[in-house]
Amino acid sequence: MDYDCHCHLSAREFEQDLEDVIQRSREAGVKTSITVTEEAGEFSRVLQLQERFPDLVSPCFGVHLLQTSGGLERRSAMPQDLDAARSRFYVHRNRLVAVGEIGLDFTPWCALTQRDRDNQVFVKQLDIAKELDLPVNIHSRSAAGVTIETMKEHGISRALLHNFAGKLRVGLEGVKAGFFFSFPPAVCRNQQRQKLIKLLPLEHICLETDSPSLGLQRHERSAVRNEDIALSCRYMSEVKGVSPQKVQVITAQNAYRIFSKAPKT
């Protein structure tokens, strides 16, 4: 499948069986994994992964709007979280392929966050991406319209909106702006996404796993977590009425257009 455009290989869930996960990923045809981070505590781990698997792991740095601070409970990201990590984006700029995972989330369960503060952390990272000439890897749950408008206002030209679930009208605005959209295997069980995927141009679609989450089974975080990207490819093929080979080729081309610093497969 060439590119997995959004995955979390530096997540703690992979500490015990990472070698197996990497092997299964390769067997599934993934040649480049765009590996996002959510907290500064992951930055060193994702760089270590790149050192171990330089042909596969393409690292991103990002401060997500929700933070765990080493515990189980999540809290809203603070500007201080980004300020403390900001210099590391610049120190490691030559190793990064994108800034992410960053973005906005307006779902009710995310009510503990403060929208003004979330937007501040988001915009600061958009500015970092522009300064470093890097694309952004975006979370936009229930906030697609605001997220896209914010990126346009701040002059972002290369963006991937992962697990996109916005309205078609909003998605087409993103297409006009030159943005791309990726979909994990979980879309195979979501009929509401079918129309969206059908009508978004294939030339603006990429594949992702979002592993260890968003597999075919609901709430799946099983030991088999990173080889199911082929499900996304086959589903795109069925919905679009084209061959899986065409989906594979075009989505890989799209991925390289966004993540131009990643190894070309």
The pLDDT of residue 175: 98
What is d(CA 262, CA 96) in angstroms, rounded to the nearest whole number? 9
Beta-sheet strands, E only, within 112-256: 136-139, 159-162, 180-183, 205-207
Cα–Cα distances (Å) from 174 to 115, 128, 163, 200, in that order, read 21, 21, 14, 10
Task: Out of 14-18, 73-77, 94-98, 110-114, give the one with best mean pLDDT.
Answer: 94-98
For 108-118, what is each residue's pLDDT tens digit? 766 555 788 88
CATH code: domain of residue 105: 3.20.20.140
Q: Residue 72 pLDDT more than 70?
A: no
pLDDT of residue 160: 98
Classify the C-alpha dihedral 178-179-181-182 as positive or negative.
positive
Note whether 208 and 225 are within 8 A (CB): no
Phi and psi torsions of 109, nearest 5°: -70, -15
Q: Is residue 264 part of a domain?
A: no
Question: Which domain, by its residues, includes 85?
Answer: 2-258
Q: Taking 50 as the threshold, does the pLDDT of residue 223 lie above it?
A: no
Residue 263 is assigned to a structural domain of this protein: no
What is the pTM (predicted TM-score) of this model? 0.92
Do the domain assignments include residue 54? yes
- Summarize the confidence of residues 34-44 as an average pLDDT: 96
Name the more confident of 14 and 249.
249
Phi, psi of 66 (to 5 degrees): -115, 135
Which whole number is the average pLDDT over 149-154? 98
Taking Cα atoms as reference points, which of 18, 47, 31 lies closest to residue 211? 18
Amino acid at 213: S
Place 107 in a pLDDT band, splitting at 50, 70 and 90.
confident
Looking at the domain assignment, is residue 217 inside a domain? yes
Q: In this structure, is residue 58 part of a structural domain? A: yes
Residue 10 lies in a domain: yes
Instruction: Give percent of the chain above pLDDT 70.
Output: 90
Dist. CA 4–CA 15, nearest whole Å: 19
Number of domains in the chain: 1
- Residue 29 pLDDT: 87
- Average pLDDT, rounded, for the chain: 89
Angle at 129 between CA 125 and CA 131, to 5 degrees: 110
Residue pLDDT, tens place only, 187-201: 887 777 899 999 999
Identify whether 265 is part of a domain.
Answer: no
Residue type, 81: D
Q: What's the confidence (pLDDT) of residue 225?
A: 55
Cβ-contact 265, 3 below 8 angstroms: yes
Q: Name the pLDDT band for 57 (thresholds 50, 70, 90).
A: very high
Q: Is 86 helix (H, G, I), strand (E, B) or coil?
A: helix
Higher pLDDT: 95 or 229? It is: 95
